[in-house]
Amino acid sequence: MSGRLAVIGLGPGDQRYLTQEAHDALEAADALYGYAPYLDRVPARPNQTRHASDNREEGARAQAALRHAADGANVAVVSGGDPGVFAMAASVLEAVESGPHAWRALDIAIVPGITAMLAVAARAGAPLGHDFCTLSLSDNLKPWELIERRLDAAASAGFVIALYNPVSRARPWQLGKAFTLLSRHLPGATPVIFGRAVGRGDESVTVTALAAAADASADMATLIIVGSRETRLIVREGQSPLVYTPRAVEGALT
């Protein structure tokens, strides 16, 4: 079987964040599959077809792309950020595992991209300098009780926490609940970073404290990083503060 399927990370924003590997893979594709706003970020090329689908149709999109590749085409599925982080790479592999055996013979490549967490962290300083973890706050694909348990465990273990999918119209209260939960483990002064649309023209990054975080605005284009007890703020006159988490914690073996 000569078909190829590449799952490509576009990075968080404009072309500057696209890797050379991703650029080359996009150029080589006969067909592009993806959520329409992501496809819109890819310049049109002649002889390349585009297959846009809705955000919630990841499984069907993965299957359609695999069928197309199995016909011998060079197919690209695009994701924002990195395709392996809460995105299409896992959907494609899920479809491969449960699909026709022939799909396993395809040339399948995952092309990494800069995930939102790294783009936001870089804007704010170095909040991920020590141990961290990441959670999606969306309870579309897992029960809310599990999210609460993981938030509790992450905060009590001392991780810096990056939150993807913090709110949506269908999930208006979850983020406030998450901050309340985290406040049981962390001081009110703990730095919290809100990065919105980082890497795009309308980018904004704000730093606040956990005690005031519920008043900050967030939407589906926002990634939130909640510091740990070690996370520090360097205040600068006339410039935004620098947030960082030191490389070592006290008592660590060297």
Nearer to ligand SAH, 74 or 165 (CB): 165
- Show contacts of 185-188: CB within 8 Å, 24+ apart: 185/152, 185/155, 185/156, 186/155, 186/210, 186/226, 186/227, 186/228, 186/229, 187/229
Q: Of 22, 199, 226, 230, which one interacts with ligand SAH (CB under 6 A)?
A: 199
Nearer to ligand SAH, 73 or 135 (CB): 135
223 scored as a contact of ligand SAH (CB under 6 A): yes
Which residue type occupies 20?
Q
Q: Of 8, 25, 111, 120, which one interacts with ligand SAH (CB under 6 A)?
A: 120
Least CB distance from residue 240 to ligand SAH, whole Å?
A: 16
198 scored as a contact of ligand SAH (CB under 6 A): yes
Query: Nearest residue by C-beta to ligand SAH?
Result: 81
The sign of the CA dihedral 83, 85, 91, 96 is positive
Angle at 117 between CA 115 and CA 121, to 5 degrees: 125
Pairing of strands 232-236, 239-244: antiparallel
Please give the Cα distance from 212 to 81 (Å, whole number).
28
Kindly indicate which of the ranges 50-58, 64-72, 100-108, 191-199 contains the residues binding ligand SAH, using the contact rule CB under 6 A.
Answer: 191-199
Residues that bind ligand SAH (CB under 6 A): 12-13, 79-82, 85-87, 115-116, 120, 164-166, 195-200, 220-223
